[in-house]
Amino acid sequence: MLKGVFGLSASAIAQQMKSAGYNATRVARGLKNIGQNATSIVRILKNVFSLGALPIATHMKAAGYGANQVASAFKQTGYTVNEISQALKTVFSLGPKAVARVLKAVGFTVKEIAKALKDVLFLSAEAVARVLKAVGFTVKEIAKALKDALFLRAKVVARALKAVGFTAKQIAKALKDVFGAAASVIKGILKGIGFGASAIVNAFKDLFSSGGSEEGSSGRGGRIDDGGKPQHQN
């Protein structure tokens, strides 16, 4: 009504409603009813009411918006993956897998999701790997996320990958592709995390048949030790 009669902007309408005593939920509903999208409403609530992420998420939920809509609007407004994860966890009562699925749906990377699962939901490396696998990320993507976001060494990553059901062959390839680990190092890691001789032999079929020598390299000018740490040569 205010927009139609007075030609006011959405922000001005929100300010008028606030001055008239309407709370943020009613303002969000009013803006929704005049065609404002979720991103616009989040920005207006942030500016007009000076609210943080959790209160805004609470009011958006009360105004009828779902977790995906709020997460997308928050991302477009500039909130961090950790802030969004906290809102999904606290306001929408989502568990780790549901949080990860929403974050993936709105465009966050596997590295960003892994970090949020660790920082906000306090998951272990194995639990992070399990959630990432459940929402559809590949073994290579998971290994890289554990390395880059959680700063884990190759053997720790391999142990987490084995715990969530990846095969010796899948893990060996991930160690080669992500860590640039040499064949001898990969064999040692696979043995160290409990794979038998036959599984290790099978894992190496075709793995080093192309693209360089069997020993491999770190891709950063050095070899990789059994923990995934570069050993630079003199």
Q: What is the mean pLDDT of residues 64-84?
A: 98
Residue 233 has pLDDT above 50, yes or no: no
Mean pLDDT for the chain? 90
- Whether residues 133 and 167 share a domain: the answer is no
Same domain, 118 and 140: yes
Can you give the pTM of this predicted structure? 0.86
Whether 86 maps to a domain, the answer reads no
Please say if the pLDDT value at position 212 is more than 70: no
With a cut of 50, say whether residue 132 has pLDDT above it.
yes
DSSP, residue by residue, 100-164: HHHHHHTT--HHHHHHHHHHTT---HHHHHHHHHHTT--HHHHHHHHHHTS---HHHHHHHHHHT
Q: Do 131 and 179 fall within a single domain? A: no
Number of folded domains that form the chain: 3
Residue 220: which of 190, 167, 181, 189 has the closest Cα? 181
Question: For 103-117, what is each residue's pLDDT tens digit?
Answer: 999 999 999 999 999
Domain identity same for 42 and 117:
no
Domain that holds residue 31: 1-80
| pLDDT interval class at 1 (50, 70, 90) | very low
In terms of domains, do 117 and 50 share one?
no
Q: Is residue 85 part of a domain?
A: no
Same domain (yes/no): 129, 206:
no
Decide if pLDDT at 224 tops 90. Answer: no
